[in-house]
Amino acid sequence: MPELPEVEVTRLGIEPHIKQQTIKAVTVRQKQLRWPVSDALSQLEGQVIQGVRRRAKYLFIDTLAGSAIVHLGMSGSLRVLSQDEPPQKHDHVDLLLSNGMLLRYRDPRRFGAWLFSELPYEAHPLLSKLGPEPLSDEFNVDYLQAQLKGRTKAIKLALMDNHLVVGVGNIYANEALFMAGIDPRREAGRVSRKRLVVLVEKVKWVLTQAIARGGTSLQDFTQSDGKPGYFAQQLLVYGKAEEPCPSCGRPISKIVLGQRASFYCRACQS
């Protein structure tokens, strides 16, 4: 599933090509995605795109009439293509643009979403209860320590809770916890402040590096130009069960936490 870095890479890839372009038409070929594609998207026709924003894993294509809210789901992607590019089987939504290009949404598994909102995006029900952005100043050790106080759930599951902090998905939680030397199973409320300082730093570092390298391509994700994300080459523990730990050489362990695969070093993480 595309995580925060992949969504941000998508935003950075499409915005220069669609900003200040007029939406000439909205074409919906398949309405049945995670939620039915909003009929209100037709209100975008004739509107000028003011920009593309991201909140958590949601993208907002803003116009003065409202915003298209796009979620990539498990296999969704956005590409800027020539208008004469014929649609393929899994190409479900097009925005036809005044510069002769189109923004095309492809989603083989159809777990993504295209919604519409006239509200400021922060007020939308999907976003109103989300935690801070992990790369913002709001996500700091004081905030994290206060939020984790008394929590008995595993630190990895807490880190992936979007009410606590958005967008630290499975891949990047594994990597940040390894770099911070914290066992993913440790009770969140029992992680010391000293270790939380390091964890906040590593979360920000790994997400920043992933964005700089175009995200992580494991199965479905590609950048908006069709190229893979290259951060997969930098992964230290994710997907590396039984391979040598890059720090101590002992085999990386794999367990399941919250129905998600977790990779860690029993020697280096405690």
**Structural contact between residues 71 and 113, judged by C-beta atoms closer than 8 angstroms:** yes
Within 8 A by CB and 6+ apart from 69, the residues are: 58, 59, 60, 113, 114, 115, 116, 117, 121, 124, 126
Q: What letter represents residue 181's amino acid?
A: G
Long-range Cβ pairs for the range 178-182 (8 Å, 24+): 178/236, 178/237, 178/263, 178/264, 178/265, 178/268, 178/269, 179/205, 179/206, 179/236, 181/268, 181/269, 181/270, 182/155, 182/269, 182/270
Mean pLDDT of the chain: 92
Indicate if 57 belongs to the active site: yes
Q: Has 109 been labeled as part of a binding site?
A: yes
Residue 16 main-chain phi, psi, to 5 deg: -60, -25
Residue 34 main-chain phi, psi, to 5 deg: -55, -45
The DSSP code for 99 is T
* Beta-strand pair 260-264/66-71: unpaired
Structure tokens at 16: 């220069």
Please determine, for residue 230, whether its predicted confidence score (pLDDT) is greater than 80. no
Confidence of residue 214 (pLDDT cuts 50, 70, 90): confident
Indicate if 2 belongs to the active site: yes
pLDDT in tens, 10-37: 999 999 999 999 999 999 999 999 999 9
Please determine, for residue 201, whether its predicted confidence score (pLDDT) is greater than 50. yes
Q: How far apart are CA 237 and CA 180, in angstroms?
A: 13
Question: Which residue of the set 11, 57, 79, 104 is catalytic?
Answer: 57
Q: Which CATH number fits domain 4-123: 3.20.190.10, 3.40.50.300, 3.30.565.10, 3.40.50.10860?
A: 3.20.190.10
pLDDT at 106: 96
The residue ranges of every structural domain in the chain are 4-123, 141-264
Please determine, for residue 124, whether its predicted confidence score (pLDDT) is greater than 90. no
Question: Which residue of the set 2, 5, 134, 184 is catalytic?
Answer: 2
Please determine, for residue 127, whether its predicted confidence score (pLDDT) is greater than 90. no
Lowest mean pLDDT among 83-92, 123-132, 174-183: 123-132
Q: What letter represents residue 146's amino acid?
A: A
CATH 1.10.8.50 given to domain 141-264: yes
Q: Has 71 been labeled as part of a binding site?
A: no
Q: Has 106 been labeled as part of a binding site?
A: no
